[in-house]
């Protein structure tokens, strides 16, 4: 008798969580290098008592549970900014960022130079090259970042490029194991070593926009709301049913 309520409740709880995921995607629709999250659900069977010897075997009650949120790592659109320190990565590679908690990975290529001349992220963490942080001299100008991540500059009045380093690009065999840490950073996750990536290309003067498909998120939002209200209506009907059953069955004739 209670199953309807409990099954309905399990669905509503997962829908609420899915709504949170949709809301987070929509909130990050303008976040550089953001990758959308998607919800996955699975059927969850009760392991309670059941009797299968009858002609019509007992049907087991199945609830729903949210199994996972997976990251959609598809390429986001590139926006031209003309800023020499903006890079977009064309491919599945990540930039390597040195944080106090160790190496982290990002697709957010809106880079800056700090007061020590290091190439850093917007949050001020050094972006690593193949030989540690990339450092510029005070007289450097005209920063050029080539498609392979090589960083060169014109130093002083020189007409010949000086090499300042090469952006380290890494990719992962199991990108789904990456853990979102916020601040556009990913932690590597368990048993998921970063491997050098040679196929991805760096595009200077572009930033990768969020890959959230706003139309799809809006329709999913409506879907979630409708499903939620349907369950609410179902629960209400079930309540009414039980109420009338109680009224009728317990109606002792005078």
40 vs 246, which CB is nearer to another protein? 40
Q: Which DSSP string do the residues of the chain spell out, in sequence order? A: --HHHHHHHHHHHHHHHHHHHHHHHHHTTT-TT---EEEEEEEEE--------SSSPPPPPEEEEEEEEEE--PPPPEEE---TTBEEEESS-EEEEEETTEEEEE---B-EE-TTSBEE-TTSPBBEETTEE-B--TTEEEEEE-TT-EEEEEETT-SSEEEEEEB-EEE-TTGGG-EEEETTEEE--TT---EE--S-EEEETEEEPP---HHHHHHHHHHHHHHHHHHHHHHHHHHHHHHHHHHHHT----
- 7, 11, 34, 145: residue in contact with another protein (rule CB under 8 A): 34
- The reply to whether 66 sits near another protein by the rule CB under 8 A is yes
Judged by beta carbon, residue 18 or residue 171, the one nearer another protein is 18
139 near another protein (CB under 8 A)? yes
Site for another protein in 173-212 (CB under 8 A): 174, 176-177, 179-184, 189-192
Task: Decide if residue 108 touches another protein (CB under 8 A).
Answer: yes
Contact string 112-131 vs another protein (x = CB under 8 A): xxxxxx----xx--------
Q: How far is the CB of 59 from another protein (least distance, A)?
A: 26
Q: Which stretch binds another protein (CB under 8 A): 23-31, 53-61, 97-105, 164-172?
A: 23-31
Size of the site for another protein (CB under 8 A): 76
What residues between 214 and 253 interact with another protein by CB under 8 A?
214, 217-218, 221-222, 224-225, 228-229, 232-233, 235-236, 239
Q: Are 186 and 71 in contact (CB under 8 A)?
A: no
Report which of 95, 154, 146 is spatially closest to residue 119, judged by C-alpha positions.
95
- Whole-angstrom distance, CA of residue 168 vs CA of residue 200: 11
Exactly one of 68, 173, 241, 245 binds another protein (CB under 8 A); that residue is 68
Binding of another protein at residue 81 (CB under 8 A)?
Answer: yes
CB of 254 to another protein, least distance (A): 28
Residue 29 as a binder of another protein (CB under 8 A): the answer is yes
Shortest Å distance, C-beta 200 to another protein: 22
Is 22 a binding residue for another protein by CB under 8 A? The answer is yes
Please, what is the minimum distance in Å from the beta carbon of residue 43 to another protein? 16
């Amino acid at each position: 008798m209670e199953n309807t309520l409990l099954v309905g409740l399990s669905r509503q709880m997962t829908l609420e969580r899915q709504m949170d995921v949709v809301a987070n995607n929509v909130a990050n629709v303008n976040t550089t290098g953001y990758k959308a999250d998607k919800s996955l659900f699975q059927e969850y069977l009760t392991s309670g008592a059941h009797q299968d010897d009858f002609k019509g075997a007992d049907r087991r009650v199945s609830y729903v549970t949210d199994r996972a949120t997976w990251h959609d790592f598809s390429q986001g659109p590139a926006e031209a900014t003309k800023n020499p320190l903006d890079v977009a990565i064309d491919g599945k590679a990540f930039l390597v960022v040195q944080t106090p908690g160790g190496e982290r990975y990002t697709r957010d290529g809106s880079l800056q130079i700090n007061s020590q001349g290091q190439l850093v992220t917007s949050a001020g963490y050094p972006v690593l090259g193949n030989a540690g942080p990339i450092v510029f001299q005070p007289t450097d100008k005209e920063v050029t970042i080539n498609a392979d991540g090589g960083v060169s500059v014109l130093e002083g009045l020189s007409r010949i490029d000086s090499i300042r380093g090469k952006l380290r690009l890494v990719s992962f065999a199991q990108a789904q194991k990456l853990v979102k840490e916020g601040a556009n950073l990913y932690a590597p996750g368990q048993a998921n070593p970063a491997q050098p990536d040679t196929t991805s290309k760096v595009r200077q003067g572009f930033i990768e926009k969020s890959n959230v498909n706003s139309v799809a998120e809006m329709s999913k939002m409506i879907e979630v709301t409708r499903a939620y209200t349907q369950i609410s209506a179902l629960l209400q009907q079930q309540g009414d049913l039980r109420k009338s059953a109680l009224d009728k069955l317990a109606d002792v004739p005078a």
